[in-house]
Amino acid sequence: MRCVVTAALLVLSVATSAQGQTDLRYPARPEPTTVIGINPIALVLGAVIGDFEKTIRPALTIGIGASVLPSYLNRYRAAEAKLRYYPDEHALHGVSLGLTAGIVTQEFSDYSSTSNGVQRTNISPSIGTELSHQWILGATSRFAMVVGAGAKRLFGSNSNRYEGTFGGGTVATFRVNVGVAF
């Protein structure tokens, strides 16, 4: 009986000390609070799309986003402020619901009966929503990847002339970004 108790104590002491050990190859780092990312697919197509996101509360982040699409896509440009809520209360990780507000600019050729191909520019304020999922990966938690989709509504006197995804000033948005977390 004495031998069994000694063996049990020995097993418990080894198991307890093994739990507290860390992998010395990857020292503990603080949780990332900022992500900067770009869309690599857009770069191949001649566009630049990127985001900056910063944690302000355990479940809340603020950020900015910018998009510049090439002239064959009517030279679409957007700049937005973003607020994202992470329902799991672990900002920058997992599912997020977002609100956006910003400015959208589109240059296009107007071929109406009175304009005959004149270059026009629409500048419209916008508001929108997003649903995304973000992963922070790697042994040092430095690689960020996010996919998401949403929609934005354009406002202003020229917003109905905008040829949006859904027509009449509504645009679908997609996020497929990779970046760095720190």
DSSP string, 38-51: E-HHHHHTT-EEEE
What are the tens digits of pLDDT across the range 105-142? 888 776 665 666 677 788 899 999 999 999 999 999 99
What are the tens digits of pLDDT across the range 46-80? 999 999 999 999 999 999 999 999 877 678 899 99
Going from the C-alpha of 23 to that of each of 12, 18, 19, 112, 140, the distances in angstroms are: 21, 11, 11, 67, 12
CB atoms within 10 A of CB 178: 14
**Distant-in-sequence, close-in-space partners of 90: CB < 8 Å, separation ≥ 6:** 58, 59
The CATH fold of domain 29-181? Porin (2.40.160)
Task: Taking residues 79-104, report their average pLDDT.
Answer: 97
Q: Say if residues 105 and 122 touch (Cβ distance below 8 Å).
A: yes
Locate the domains of the chain by residue range: 29-181
pLDDT of 17: 46
Using 50, 70 and 90 to split pLDDT, how confident is the model at 102? very high
pLDDT over 90 (residue 151) = yes
